[in-house]
Structure 1
């Protein structure tokens, strides 16, 4: 009887752990083959991501949004682009990855298989008027503020990460405002989240 109970508890624990792990998994981008002017890549766990190509000079050349796709393979023909440096940017609710693309004088395409930058974004869980904000992979401190659209600031502090992670909980008062903005400034990146209370 004890062995059966232990097995049931262990199975339940593993199922709960697997459930939490699957909810937290974000997209994964793998660079595939490159033929002269065509870039091929695969994106796994692609739920609500945007893909963009930017020139080094800052102009967006192409963008598309993908919703609720488990996995897909994309090919971009870059033959119309001039010699120079470009970036493939993949962005979800949880992170932004940027890959460097080079086009040489022969119009041949090459891409770095690892992102030149990866930014983790704050993740929010909202229950009624209680907002839990979590941020992973922080290296330094971040400035967090909570304000309403009338300009009232309810919270403004610099917070240090604990082991690279930051977790804060805010209880927003619906009698003060129906909409709030949470702003997170981390290493030059600014993330804004609008919270509308019902």
Structure 2
């Protein structure tokens, strides 16, 4: 894989939240990247695809026992234990050293009295370290929710497609706290696995 595709794949891979064999979502966008720091320019690459987040089995069981249900808000769709998000765009971060992958849709984890709504997730990943983070809108504010590490060398490229599986999402204190609000006895710890991410994307020059 070329360096340019590797960097693109790293950004695509970081989305967040994982059902193996998920199909690419419909729709196509033209991503942008700054030609100079902070200045927009065109990469000449279009993408279409999806990212699926599957909640960790132990966490899913804990939430289910507490009466919580996992649902999706359009255009995202529900999977057995998570949500499939539509990829909408990829761009270069303001620092010029990271890539951003944006999605549309919502993951709702709700009990009879409380609800956590994770909306329009965005992931970033460093070109040099492969480290990244997941952010999303929660209660009207965009916040950091999880850390991730991308192994660019483990990516699979098939023709113009890029596939990636089992990307770990490690919860930060904010996400752990939000999940503990749904439980009768708080038991979710910072740094624990929220879930795994799987990505299937088609790239076209």
- TM-score class, shorter: under 0.3
- The one of the two structures with greater contact order (alpha-carbon pairs below 8 A, sep at least 6) is 2
Q: TM-score, normalization: structure 2?
A: 0.25
In our comparison, the structure showing a higher alpha carbon Rg is 1
Q: TM-score, normalization: structure 1?
A: 0.26
